[in-house]
Amino acid sequence: MKESEIRPKKLFEEYLYLSKKDAESFDNKSFESINCVSCDSPLAKLKYKKDGFKYNICESCGTLFCNPRPSLETLNTFYKNSASAKFWFEEFLPKVEESRREKIFKKKAIQLFELIDEKKINISNLCDVGAGSGIFIEEMKKIKNDISYFAIEPGEVSSKIIASKGFSVLQKSVEYSKEWSNKFDFVVSLEVLEHVNKPITFVESINSLLKKDGYCLITTLGYEGFDILTLEEDSNSISPPHHLNFLSIKGFELLFKRAGFSEVHVMTPGVLDVDIVLNSGKSTEFLRILKLRGDSVIKEFQEFLIKNKLSSHVWVLAKK
Ligand SMILES: [Zn+2]
């Protein structure tokens, strides 16, 4: 898979432009100072400044997090009304929906059920938290039809689309989804954790949806990946106020344990790090030579990153 297949360059540039404008319009006097989102340590150093936002790195667990950050209320308003969020949901996603279905969701669904088989996890039902328009549950259902699928999705338009596809859906944020406590064998949440104001509350809420011994799979961005470590604040992933949380491998383990999970497995099966860095315009001697060595070396290098937990696309599988 190539970055351009899921993020067409022109469309993505327009989104980044709107996002930067939105970020600069925030009044940072109202921001809230916080401890490390993973381990709760108060010891952190300034790492990056971008578009009026600051990112700190935790001196204890190595997690990168936006601090100080907008309040929950400010963020909710932002996701409802901002130009960049509107563009993302109304222009960007609908245009790339079908290619993302093929390139991302279908593949993730296959990988998910391989993981479930490998770990011998028995499931009769599954809930997708932040399910968007329900593409992932549709793709999962195509692979495994004998379990019940549910969705939690706060967006009004998206949750109506999910319901129209015949799935049970709760139009709420997971933090307010108490009526589905202790209901599920498995909960998935794709690319939500990096956006949330309070990661501990988010992960605890996922934990409480699960039955005893249930599992969750959270996919998100991590800090210790090749593209982010190479491009640093120039990485398009460091995009305030959309992306606030970039946990370290240790940070993921600490956060999920703190939220009540008994087992935590962190993997980084991302495939785009090298492609993103080579397309970024960044030039170092290493990158010049890597490019010259050609596709098979590039592919092997990405496989090395996956194997050694050095991709910035992270999967966390955790048992309650
Ligand atoms: Zn920490």
pLDDT bin (cut points 50, 70, 90) of residue 29 is: confident
Question: Ligand 1 centroid to 246 CA: how many Å?
Answer: 11
What pLDDT, in 10s, does the model give residues 13-26?
A: 999 999 989 988 88
Reported as half-sphere exposure (CB side, CA atoms, 13 A), residue 146 has a value of: 3
pLDDT the model gives residue 253: 98
Question: Ligand 1 centroid to 250 CA: how many Å?
Answer: 8
- Residues bordering ligand 1, an ion, CB closer than 5 Å: 36, 38-39, 41, 58, 60-61, 63
Question: Ligand 1 centroid to 209 CA: how many Å?
Answer: 25
Q: Where are the domains of the chain?
A: 3-319
pLDDT the model gives residue 3: 79
> Average pLDDT, stretch 98-124?
94
pLDDT the model gives residue 273: 97
Instruction: Return the bridge partners of 316, or none.
Output: 218, 266
pLDDT the model gives residue 81: 86
Question: Ligand 1 centroid to 131 CA: how many Å?
Answer: 28
Question: What average pLDDT does the chain have?
Answer: 95
**Helix boundaries (H) for the chain:** 3-6, 9-24, 72-81, 83-87, 93-100, 106-118, 135-143, 156-164, 199-209, 226-231, 249-258, 273-279, 285-293, 295-307
pLDDT the model gives residue 8: 83
pLDDT bin (cut points 50, 70, 90) of residue 2 is: confident
Question: Ligand 1 centroid to 57 CA: how many Å?
Answer: 8
Question: Ligand 1 centroid to 296 CA: how many Å?
Answer: 37
Question: Ligand 1 centroid to 55 CA: how many Å?
Answer: 13
For 31-40, 62-71, 84-93, 228-237, which range has the lowest pLDDT when averaged over its residues? 84-93
Its pTM stands at 0.94
Task: Taking each helix axis as running N to C, give the angle between helix 199-209 and helix 249-258, from 0 to 180 degrees, rounded to the nearest 10.
Answer: 60
Question: Ligand 1 centroid to 222 CA: how many Å?
Answer: 13
CATH of 3-319, one of 1.20.120.50, 3.40.50.150, 1.10.10.10, 3.30.1390.20: 3.40.50.150
Regarding predicted confidence, which is higher, 41 or 77? 41
